[in-house]
Structures are given as C-alpha cells and as structure tokens.
A and B are shown apart, each in its own frame.
Chain A
Amino acid sequence: MNTCPEQIVHNMHAYLDGDISPDDELQLNKHLAECVECRMLMEELSIPITFIRKAESVQAPIGFVDGVMARLPKEKPQAGVQR
C-alpha cells in the first residue's frame, strides 16, 4: 500500500496535465527520487502519454494551400465592414 501523502499523487496528475507550479514540481521530483512505489505509480500514469507522444507529425498534403485559395470566395471579405 502506498502511504505517501495524497498531495504527491495530486502533484503527479498536475505534472502530467502540464499544470504544476515550479515549487510543487521540485517537491515531486525530490520525492520520486527517494520513493520506489511513487516512481512506479508515476510510470504507470505516464503510459498513455508516452504512447500518444509517439504519434508522428502529419503534414498537409501537397496542393493543400492551392486548394484553400481555390475555395475562397472571389470578393474581398468586407461583409462586416459594410454593415
């Protein structure tokens, strides 16, 4: 059983959300360095993120920009200005 303070788990989630204060991050790292159980939990929580970050960047197909330009209405966009 994990007997570490709840705040640590809370900080793990905050870290993974990308929403942790520098102080909390420091505290978390310090704790992870000395607690194997929390390190394992952190690894477990990181699995989906590690997985999704492997997604390769996908580029727009060739001709994309020309496609957009061809779809634009011919007149200038001033509807809002006229009103």
Chain B
Amino acid sequence: MDDLVNKRINEVLKGNQDAFEEIVTLFQHRLYHICYRMLNNAQEAEDIAQEAFVRAYINIHTFDQKRKFSTWLFRIATNLCIDRIRKKKPDYYLDANVPGTEGLTMYSQIAADDELPEDKVEQMETQERIHYEIGKLPDKYRSVIILRYIEELPLQEIGDILELPLGTVKTRVHRGRAALRKQLSNL
C-alpha cells in the first residue's frame, strides 16, 4: 500500500491535485474513526478529519517517503484533535446552552465532560456506553487507548504518532487501562 501511496504523492507533488483524492479515499474511514473517538462528536470529527487531509495536502512536500504515510497523517489528525479538545474546554458551559443540534445523533450529543447519573449509564446500549466511557477518559490516556485498542497499532507506532517516547506510551496505556477499569467498576 505504501508504494501506491508514494506513487500518488509524487503525482500530487507534480501538481496533479486529483491524485490526492485517491489518498483521501484510502484513509478516510480510519482517520475519521480516530477523530470521532478522540472528539466524541460526529460533526467535529468530520471537520477535523477533513482539515487533517487539507494540512497533509499543503505540507505534502515535507513528508519523508521512507516513512509510513499513515503515521504522518495520524499525527496531523491527533494534534488537531488535541488542539480542539483544549480549545473546547473553557467554552463548555457556553456550548451547553446552544440548542443548534439538528441532525446530530444521540451519541454526538453526549458531551465528553458530562457526568451522567449511574442509573442512566446502566441503561445505555453498548455502543453508546463505549462512546460515553471513552469520552470520560482524560485526553492523554484517550489518545493512546484509541490507537492501541481500537486501531490496534503497536506501541512504537503510537509513540511515532504522538511524538512520545516508548516508555511514556507504555505508562499511558497502562494508566489508561486502569482509569477505564475504574470507570467501569463505579457502576
């Protein structure tokens, strides 16, 4: 796959914008899924995942073709997600008063910081519950847990994506698991 991707990248570098479309098509679902789990919101995930592709396009000349394209692309996306999460926090209460939620599913309406009463959480369906519990994880654990157990990436690759030393990734995976275990046992 990397050969095909590099071939398309070289076409993009020569000015053929259409060649980028194939790259987007190849990676769209994985990238969207990561953003969706990181941000816990469908609309924001679409916006940030698209933005990540745009940034990848603009900076494509800086990509080292000896490396894995997905790692580079996922790094752009996770950085954008983390920025978005940080920016979002102070406006959280303002956001809560804005009713403009047409077209959002029930999943996307559960804000990451919302603490629900226990009986409500117990009634949730599995997918809704997973969505909720991931959203409750502190973001530094959330990113490693998503990449490790949803994307099934090796620790070294997670380190490359998040630009963290292997030891830190291990600690975070470890603590993230413990944090999730604690959340689950509260019920």
Inter-chain contacts of B148 with A (CB < 8 A): 17-18
A51 touches B33 (CB 8 A): no
Chain B binding surface SS class: helix
Chain A stretch 8-35: residues in CB contact (< 8 A) with chain B: 13, 16-19
| B127 interfacial by beta-carbon distance below 8 Å | yes
B60 touches A69 (CB 8 A): no
Bound complex: CA A69 to CA B57 (Å): 10
| A78 interfacial by beta-carbon distance below 8 Å | yes
Q: Which of B46, B60, B133 contacts A77 (CB 8 A)?
A: B60
B184 touches A47 (CB 8 A): yes
B15 touches A76 (CB 8 A): yes
Inter-chain contacts of B154 with A (CB < 8 A): 18-19
Bound complex: CA A55 to CA B180 (Å): 14
Q: Which of A58, A64, A69 contacts B20 (CB 8 A)?
A: A69
Bound complex: CA A62 to CA B118 (Å): 35
A57 touches B174 (CB 8 A): no
Bound complex: CA A76 to CA B31 (Å): 23
**Within the complex, what minimum Cβ distance (angstroms) separates A12 from chain B?**
11
A17 touches B150 (CB 8 A): no
Q: Please tell me the size bucket of the interface on B.
A: 35 or more
Inter-chain contacts of A19 with B (CB < 8 A): 154-155, 170
B145 touches A52 (CB 8 A): yes
| A1 interfacial by beta-carbon distance below 8 Å | no
A68 touches B29 (CB 8 A): no
Q: A17-B174, A77-B60 are in contact. Are A51 and B130 (CB under 8 A)?
A: yes
Inter-chain contacts of A47 with B (CB < 8 A): 181, 184
5 more contacts with CB within 8 A, not counting A18-B154, A52-B134, A68-B54, are: A19-B154, A47-B181, A65-B28, A77-B61, A78-B13
Q: Chain B: residues with CB nearer than 8 A to chain A?
A: 12-15, 17, 20-21, 24-25, 28-29, 31-33, 36-37, 42, 46, 49-51, 53-54, 57-62, 126-127, 130-131, 133-134, 145, 148-150, 152, 154-155, 170, 173-174, 177, 180-181, 184
Top 8 A-B residue pairs of the complex, sorted by shortest distance between their CB atoms: A60-B32, A48-B180, A76-B15, A80-B61, A60-B28, A68-B53, A48-B181, A55-B130
